Amino acid sequence: MEKQNRDFKGITENELKGYRDSYAENALSRAMTNALSKTEITDAAFCSKGRPPFVFSVEIPTMGVTNQEKSGRCWIFSALNVLREQAAKKCGLEEFELSQNYVAFWDKFEKVNYFLESMLALADRPLTDRLVTYLLDGGVEDGGQWDMLVGVAEKYGVVPKSAMEETFQSSNTSKMNALLNTKLRQYACALRQAAADGKDTVSLKNEMLAETYRFLCMCFGEPPRTFDFEYSDKDKKYHSDSGLTPLEFYRKYIGLNLKEDYISIINSPTEDKPFYQTYTVDYLGNVAEADPVHYLNLPMEEMEALIIRQLKDGELVWFGSDVGPMGERNLGLWSGECFDFNGTFGIDFSMPKKDRLDFRDSAMNHAMVITGVNLDDEGRPTRWKIENSWSDEHGKKGYYMMSASWFDAFVYQAVINKKYLSDAQKEALGKEYIHLDPWDPMGTLA
């Protein structure tokens, strides 16, 4: 077989000598070689002068932070942290949590059905097809998107944490996910074979879902169909609401119309995604009959203006970002001003936001809640207050801060009440969705 790399150019000995000489002649490189032999890179590059004060001109009081433990359920935790504030206000609660485990159970179960339906839809494609291999590689993950949370809540409702507590597996999902995805690939093999042989795939899929339900119940516990909501308010007065279904609780104590009143906006300044256009991602979802994942793409200055309007109105903002770069976890800080990687190495690591997206250097990987912002005299944001779900051991009891420049560079998504949109933005919502490939950066899961 002819070699595919026949035209590749190798590194010559003369070129290698030049690289060695360049390193030997660079005093910074030699000094940093010694320093980094016993120092974490982020510690070596940290600049204390880049740490702003933890105060904000617009700030919404919220309850204590939650802890997603060793799971990728940040999108669930952050969304329920927004929703719990509604129930707490109605009931006069000082501390309250909704069951993240309940939502995670139904998300997993619906994702399995979505995966099996996808395998049936693609059963006539070869296993080497890019879409088939992408879906098989990914399987079912912990992560999700805002519209996937809405799909679960609208179908199954939500419950207080007391109605379905965490289990070890819900808080430590790695091994469970590995077993589940092995099973899904086994299912995919059987479904493809049944489809090829003209056999009954409907009954076969139902058997698979029954087995999945049993597996998830063993890992998460079985979700309640009814429960009693008992609580004492801030005045120590006892209340009890008996025999509630999860949907009844959702409608009575949350009372938000997430499906109709809220829209997920993104900032993707890439040439393939014009602003003021709506987008959806193919083969991305959980509840098959729910509205598809969809977004409105806006310039960052408009996204920030909408977020600020919502915060000023006392309403929290769910958002997604790439928390990998420029972060100091112990301080609870994301800020490019706090790290000088260019100076540490004498190498320029900067890339425009559009290039980081196009060349796969960055994508949304974590969802949190914006609870405040500091504005300068001209009303421009200088830093943002963030409610995280990584326990209260870091930052300010689990609350973090993002600098304005970091926010612009690494925030990709936010959920906004449609009432804050301008007429032009509302008009853009009516446009037909442009379909994105499942592997598009805007299709990544928080």
With vertex at residue 154, the alpha carbon angle to CA 148 and CA 155, rounded to the nearest 5 degrees, is 95
3-class SS of residue 92: coil
Topology match between the domains 41-70+257-446 and 86-256: yes
Determine the 3-state secondary structure of 444 from DSSP: coil
Beta-carbon neighbour count of residue 155 at 10 Å? 15
Tens of pLDDT, residue by residue over 290-332, are 999 999 999 999 999 999 999 999 999 999 999 999 999 999 9
**Which sequence spans correspond to the domains of the chain?**
41-70+257-446, 86-256
pLDDT value at 1 more than 60: no
CA distances (Å), origin 32, targets 37, 342, 361, 426: 8, 12, 25, 53
Arithmetic mean of pLDDT, 133-152: 98
For residues 401 and 53, give the distance between their C-alpha atoms in angstroms, rounded to a whole number: 9
Range 86-256 has CATH code 3.90.70.10: yes
The residue behind tokens 């051991």 is 393
pLDDT of 338: 87
Alpha helices in 313-422 (DSSP H): 341-345, 353-358, 404-410
pLDDT of residue 33: 95
Q: 267-290: b or e for each residue (b if 16 or more CB lie within 10 Å)?
A: bbebeebeeeebbbbbbbbbbeeb
3-state secondary structure of 367: strand
What is the structure's pLDDT at 7? 82
**From CA 290, how far away is CA 154, in angstroms rounded?**
9
> Between 3.90.70.10, 3.20.20.70, 1.10.287.1040, 3.40.50.1110, what CATH number should domain 41-70+257-446 receive?
3.90.70.10
Residues belonging to the active site: 74, 366, 388
Q: How far apart are CA 394 and CA 417, in angstroms?
A: 30
Distances (CA, A) of 173 to 70, 135, 219, 316: 7, 20, 9, 28
Euclidean distance between CA atoms 411 and 417, whole angstroms: 18
Tokens of 307: 């977020």
